[in-house]
Chain A
Amino acid sequence: MNFGIVRDAVPQLAQGFALTLEITVFGVAGALAVGTLGAAMRISQAAAARAAATAFTEFFRNTPPLVQIYFLAFALPKLPGIGPHLVLPAVVAATLGLVLHQGAINIEILRAGLQAVPEGQREAAAALGLSRNDQLRYVLIPQAARISLPALGNNVISLFKNTTLVSSIGVLDLFGEANDIIAQILVSAELFLTVGVVYVVCVALLGALFRTLEKRLALA
């Protein structure tokens, strides 16, 4: 194997890595927003909101993100009538696919976290006369967030790894750039290994970050 190839590829790979990070940041933010909104709807008093949120959650977390990306990129534009207005740039379609899939997973994580808060906490908050919103805001959600943190961290790592899927519709993230180079030089093992190691190191760093966060916020 000739790792000189890797050295020559660094500028292009760096560009791709920057895009990977950008997609990750937007993806995580979007997925968190979807997760919070969806979890709030799932515990709402309104049956319609609960039903809609549950349907969304179950559909988008049980279907492959890759297929969701393909649907957004190639099927949406074919919708009768509004289709032509829904032609998304590849990077947008891909990021949106990740946001929907990992967002649905977040909804489930946050809902489970809320349910895991002991019932006695809700009783005590209610017994003090706190309104339902205040119960959630001051007592239930702060505890649910701590309970959910490990799973939320795992989901962030999942999203980061899934950014590689964007290369399948031509987006030049780190993996996309690597494949672009390989298509020209026809040698691949070194680049795949190098790129693989980059992802593994980033995942390890993210993992350490979240474990530190968990320790900082621990209550006991």
Chain B
Amino acid sequence: MSSYLVALPALARGLGTTFAIAIASMVLAVGFGFVVGTLRSILPRALDLPLLGAIEFLRGIPLLVLMYFLFFGLPQLGVHTSNNVAAIAALALYAGALGSEIVRGAIVSIPPGQTEAAAALGLRRFAILRLVVIPQALRRMLPPFVALFALIVESSSLAALIDVTDLLQAARQNVERDPGVALPVYLTVLIAYFAVNYPVSVASQRLEKQLA
């Protein structure tokens, strides 16, 4: 019992790191998502293909492989990163690919009549996007982006495997020192992740209903 209590501060610090990584990745992912998603919604097919290829690659490669490549593989090619940077970069790229699909999907779902009406008023392409389409698309993007944050938090646990001291890694370190605390420690970790992700998941579902 006492070794469990001793482990708690480390777990709390680990949780803080998990949050930091998740938030940093989310911000980057939303940024990438907006830029790429908006771009893809207006690019002609030929120019869109490379972007499509990149996104399919990022969605098809397991996150763990991507993370290991960025942390262990890149130094071989001359690019050195810290494990924190590699973890955030991998998460941001993966979630960014998903985010771009969310953005593009929302933009494309706005009825063409909106674009036609705006064009009939004389607005140019970028203005139509900026003033008419994207403001409406924003509402539709909200629930899936909230769900994406939960996915990022969940996926951030992989960072432990490249030695980032997040919640899972803090747990692993404590259990390594004293295998007897495995049960309470891992249970606590599960509950902590649940405590974060369940409300986020519920929020996403509520938003979906409200904005339907």
User: A-side interface residues toward B, CB under 8 Å?
Assistant: 1, 58-59, 61-68, 70-71, 74-79, 161-165, 167-168, 175, 179, 182, 187-189, 192-193, 195-196, 199-204
Q: Is the CB of B73 within 8 A of A78?
A: no
Q: Is the CB of A63 within 8 A of B59?
A: no
Q: List 12 A-B contacts (CB under 8 A).
A: A66-B160, A67-B190, A74-B179, A75-B183, A77-B182, A164-B62, A164-B65, A175-B64, A175-B65, A192-B68, A192-B69, A196-B61
Q: Is the CB of A64 within 8 A of B74?
A: no
User: B-side interface residues toward A, CB under 8 Å?
Assistant: 56-57, 59-66, 68-69, 72-74, 76-77, 150, 154-155, 157-158, 160-161, 168, 171-172, 175, 179-180, 182-183, 185-187, 189-190, 193-194, 197-198, 201
Q: A64-B157, A200-B57 given as contacts; is B62 within 8 A of A70 (CB)?
A: no
Picked from B56, B63, B157, the residue with its CB within 8 Å of the CB of A204 is B56
- Ranked nearest first, the 3 interchain pairs of A and B with the lowest CB-CB distance are A200-B60, A203-B60, A189-B73
Q: A67-B168, A74-B179, A200-B61 given as contacts; is B194 within 8 A of A62 (CB)?
A: yes
Q: Is the CB of A189 within 8 A of B64?
A: no
Chain B residues within an 8 Å CB radius of A67: 157, 168, 186, 189-190, 193
Q: A1-B77, A67-B190, A67-B193 given as contacts; is B62 within 8 A of A199 (CB)?
A: yes
Residue of chain A at shortest CB distance from B61: A196
Shortest distance between the CB of B53 and any CB in chain A (Å): 10
C-alpha gap A201/B61 in the complex (Å)? 9
C-alpha gap A78/B186 in the complex (Å)? 11
Shortest distance between the CB of B161 and any CB in chain A (Å): 5
Chain B residues within an 8 Å CB radius of A162: 62
Q: Is the CB of B68 within 8 A of A188?
A: yes
Q: Is the CB of B69 within 8 A of A66?
A: no
Chain A residues within an 8 Å CB radius of B76: 1, 187-189
Chain A residues within an 8 Å CB radius of B73: 188-189, 192-193
Q: Is the CB of B193 within 8 A of A62?
A: yes
Picked from A64, A75, A199, A200, the residue with its CB within 8 Å of the CB of B187 is A75
